[in-house]
Structure 1
Amino acid sequence: MEQKSLSSDSAEPAAAGFQPAQAGVTAFDTLKARRSSLIAAIFLMATSAIGPGFITQTATFTTTMGAAFAFGILASILIDFVVQLNIWRIVTLTRMRASDIANAAIPGTGYLLAVLVIIGGLFFNIGNIGGAGLGLNAMVGLDAKWGGAISALIAIGLFTSKRAGLALDRTIIVAGISMIALTLFVAFVSSPPVGEALRQTVWPDTINFATITTIVGGTVGGYITYAGAHRLLDKGTVGRENLGAVTRASLTGIAVTGVMRYVLFLAVLGVVASGAVIDISGKGANPAAQAFEAAAGTIGLRVFGVILWFAAITSVIGAAYTSVSFLTAFNKNMTERGRNVATIAFIAVSLFFYVVMKTTPAAMLVFVGGFNGLILPIGLSIFMYVGWARSDLMGGYRYPRWLLVLGIITCALTWYMGFKSIGPIFAFLNH
């Protein structure tokens, strides 16, 4: 089956339902296409979550909190599981984008959600471009500003390709696998205190809500919440017939990010526990790069550069793709060409702000996670209302009570953490 372009059918996703009965399409082709769409969605969500913000946040908080940060990682993984299970399920069943779901459930809220996600995605992409610059700086010594500009142009090039969808899918899968393998190598070399990390995963010496909110926002907040679900929608993997596969895919995506997150934490923790000093205060501070270099010398620094650049370039693509998908809330007749042009413009605007802003890339990468963590409870509240009271939008589907209860508890928790974290999160802009 021919793979759809990157932005195909976003105006009418319901009409793009998976059609196994098309002429010339065998059952094997249908199964292969569905598997391809699920893998693409898993890795789009996972590589968006395993972005430069996540890497920098993990290094920063591990440096300041040590093994106690393990509890924050566990809490964020549990929250991520509940959020993605609910979001992917409802998007799949309604066959609508998140903003359209919100407008159908509570008129006007879809526009609010779209604006917040687009703004959050812009902030994220500024940080992502900065992360790409830091990656090339660590990899080959190129100035971070030039590295960011070159990386942004590469991302734009992917969206100008006639086979943009295929390019996206292959890029994010290769990048995701490479990041996990390279981080495992550094974690092994750094020899972290695994026993202490496991203890503090469930019994921490200290709990910091701002830290948890920032990590949650950096891995499932803002646009990341909807990246994989919207990818499935564009590929037509929707409806009850695909619900089981979609559920497994959402769990797999979070499991991939969870493993990567904990492995990276262990890699940095090994460096911190060894007594090495990691500077997180300087204007040019790049704490993750320092940790990798301390663990494995020059090779570690180059490996980090590759990991961060892979993470950043895929996140630039994911942030632009998903943020622009929310523009259909304001223009449902936007053509495929119009969406590609808007995506390119989105990356270009992100690059402009990256060049002119004075906030350091590392500080921006920590801030954007927190900012998108503040956005998360707004969209999650709307989706929980749909699961609770709007079965009509899901074709009469009876929402599982256990999942609804978990979603409501998680929603209340993210509101509380957001309220407690507003001040500390915005303070990062002063760094």
Structure 2
Amino acid sequence: MPEQSTRTPQDEAKLSAVKRRIGRSSVIGAIFLMATSAIGPGFITQTATFTATMGASFAFAILVSVIVDIAVQLNVWRMITSSGKRAGVLANAAIPFSGHVIAVLVIIGGLAFNIGNIAGGGLGLNALLGIDAKIGGLITGALAIIVFLIKKAGRVMDIVLIVLGVGMIVMTVVVAIIAQPPIGDALRQTIVPDELNFATITTIIGGTVGGYITYSGAHRYLDSGLTGPEHAGPVMRAATNGVLITGVMRYVLFLAILGVVASGVVLDTTSATANPAAQAFGAVLGGTGLRVFGAILWAAALSSVIGAAYTSATFLSTFTKKIARGWALQLAVIAFIVVSLIVYLLIGTAPAAILVFVGGFNGLILPVGLTVFMYIGWFRRDLLGSRKYPTWLLVAGTLVTLLTWYMGIVSVGPIFAFLGVGA
């Protein structure tokens, strides 16, 4: 005889409320995981460099990158959450072994990126507290590991990422206000730029939605339990919000740097030790500005370490279901961070050769994954739980896929150079 449930209607109502709260937390966490994964040390340096060299015209590149990012993330988030499968598993279901290829690319790229993220954390703490950069990197890696040692790691990760994300935006807004940028000119050139640089646009697209970043938020969203085609509306809103948070941070940082450049300060963007963002913050607030920059850089680095490690580890479920969730996933994330940290401590920083190699991988991961996802959208909608899928979204995704293949072709040269092919 089956056991009778001892739960009262009040118990069921409380349990339902808890599940909804956990679901909402995971959704917000997914939004900030995607956004803060994109806002790493490279993001900050890249934005400062392009603003220093292009001035207000860089605003148009930011706008285009946000539009492209939305097309990518809406497709990826909707397909992953509609199917209820992580990217590698879904890809394998559509094209055998394609998920394994994507997983290998993401894991290798994520590991190398994490070395740079930890190095950025070390530099951030050095600027903020004056401690040795290597010790700062060790502290950054250790804090990321502690997050995943806690029993409710997912909830803690969400809180940490939200605090870091909001903190970065608030500090940057303050600096932007003090810098007094020419907002009118910036708004005009957001729509009608004086200078158009296609290479810059493709570069920042790769930096904000390439590699593991493409899948970070969608994989976290799966933990909310709000999956299936019936949740497509909230999923698309969440994906859009994640991209907009990244875009706001980039635009505010752009305004802060633009205010410095417009005042006549010349930022160094070419020397081996160039750090245009640090110079700009220093120009606005002196020694305090350098410490604020250190805090922002460290927050960006720590959040990116967490995002890269979590997302890369979730791709291990492509090879074995044992690492799909729970403690097994937490241990995989910790192992990922530990390996990145050990490599960083051995080499001291991320060598230029590794960053070139990773940049090439970043350019390749995005079009490979998007091609598989576009194939699913056009020809394998049965994997998405419904035959209905917006044609406009597929058209936008296909056009972006063609653009990213161009980016990937440009990246092949650096990869061959790193491997010594054709030398």
The answer, yes or no, to whether TM exceeds 0.5 is yes
User: Aligned-pair RMSD on alpha carbons?
Assistant: 2.5
Q: CA deviation at 1:45?
A: 0.8
Q: Classify 1:22/1:370 alpha carbon distance in 2 versus 1 (closer, same or farther; 3 Å).
A: farther
Matched residue, 1:405: 395
Say if 2:190 is the partner of 1:201: yes
Pairing 1:33-112 to 2, within 5 Å after superposition: 33-112=22-101
Contact conserved, 2:105 with 2:361, CA < 8 A, in 1?
no
Distance 1:109 1:50 in 2: 28
Contact 2:48 2:277 in 1 (8 A): yes
Q: Deviations over 1:267-304 (max 9, x none)?
A: 11111222223223344332211111112212211111
Q: Tell me, yes or no, if the aligned pair for 1:214 and 1:366 is still in contact at 8 Å.
A: no
TM-score, length of structure 1 as denominator length: 0.88
Choose which of 134, 142, 145 in structure 2 pairs with 1:145: 134
Q: Distance in 2 between matches of 1:363 and 1:273?
A: 34
Q: Number of residues paired by the alignment?
A: 409
User: For 1:425 and 1:399, how far apart are their aligned partners in 2?
Assistant: 36
- Give the Å deviation of 1:101: 0.9
- 1:157 CA drift (Å): 1.3
Q: Within 2, Cα distance between the matches of 1:428 and 1:96?
A: 34
- Residues 366-393 of structure 1 show CA distances to partners (whole Å, capped at 9, x for unaligned) of 9756642432111111111111111110
Q: Conserved in 2, the CA contact under 8 Å of 1:127 and 1:364? A: no
Q: Distance in 2 between matches of 1:248 and 1:172?
A: 19
Partner of 2:248: 259
Is the CA contact 1:138–1:302 (under 8 Å) kept in the aligned structure 2? yes
Aligned to 1:15: none
More divergent stretch after superposition (97-106 vs 35-44): 35-44
Q: Residues 229 and 386 of structure 2 are in contact (CA less than 8 Å); yes or no, is this contact kept in structure 1?
A: no
Q: 2:6 aligns to what? A: none
Q: Supply the distance in 1 between the matched residues of 2:126 and 2:68 (Cα, whole angstroms).
A: 34
- The structural deviation recorded for 1:414 is 1.5
Alpha-carbon distance between aligned partners in 2 of 1:189 and 1:250, rounded to the nearest angstrom: 31
- Once the two structures are superposed, residues 158-199 of structure 1 have per-residue CA deviations (whole angstroms, 9 ceiling, x without a partner) of 111122112101101111111111100111111112233233
Structure 1 unaligned spans of 5+: 1-20
Letter in 2 for 1:199: R
Q: 1:204 to 1:101 in 2, by over 3 A?
A: same
1:12-411 alignment to 2 at 5 Å? 23=12, 25=14, 27-334=16-323, 336-357=326-347, 368=358, 371-411=361-401
Residues 213, 370 of structure 1: 8 Å contact kept: no
| Matched letter for residue 331 of structure 1 | T
Distance 1:54 1:102, change over 3 A: same
**CA 1:287–1:356: 2 relative to 1, 3 Å:** farther
Taking only the aligned residue pairs, the percentage that are identical comes to 61
- Measured at CA, do residues 117 and 88 of structure 1 come closer, stay the same or move farther in structure 2, by a change above 3 Å? same
**After superposition, what is the alpha-carbon deviation per residue over 1:319-346, rounded to whole angstroms, capped at 9, x for unaligned?**
0000010011111223733332221221
Residue type matched to 1:194 in 2?
I
Q: Give per-residue Cα distances to partners, 1:193-247, cap 9 Å, x unaligned.
A: 2233233323334433432232112211111111111001123221133221111
AA aligned opposite 2:186: A
Task: Measure, in 1, the Cα distance between the counterparts of 2:57 and 2:363.
Answer: 20
Distance change >3 Å, CA 428–CA 306, structure 1 → 2: farther
Residues in 2 aligned to 1:31 and 1:336: alpha-carbon distance in whole angstroms:
19
Taking the aligned partners of 2:74 and 2:127, their CA distance within structure 1 comes to 36
CA distance in 2, matches of 1:365, 1:304: 22
Partner SS for 2:322: coil
Output the CA distance in 1 between the equivalents of 2:200 and 2:414. 9
Equivalent pair of 2:115/2:350 in contact (CA under 8 Å): no
Give the whole-Å Cα distance in 1 for the aligned partners of 2:87 and 2:310.
Answer: 14
SS at match of 2:173: helix
Judge conservation of contact 1:52–1:128 (CA < 8 Å) in 2: yes
Aligned counterparts of 2:263 and 2:206: Cα–Cα separation in 1: 30
State the alpha-carbon separation in 1 of the partners of residues 128 and 353 from structure 2: 20
Q: Which runs of 5+ in 2 are unaligned?
A: 1-9
Q: 1:34 to 1:253 in 2, by over 3 A?
A: same
Change (3 A) 1:196 1:426: farther
- TM-score, length-normalised on structure 2? 0.89
CA change 1:103–1:358 in 2 (3 A) is same
What whole-Å deviation, never above 9, does each CA across 1:35-91 have from its counterpart, x for those lacking one? 222111111111111222211111122222222222221111111101110011001
CA distance in structure 1 between the aligned counterparts of 2:304 and 2:262, rounded to whole angstroms: 30
- One-letter amino acid of the counterpart of residue 404, structure 1: L
1:98-144 Cα distance to aligned partner (Å, 9 max, x none): 00111111111100000111111112211111111111111111222
Secondary structure class of the residue paired with 1:275: coil
Q: Distance in 2 between matches of 1:347 and 1:358?
A: 16
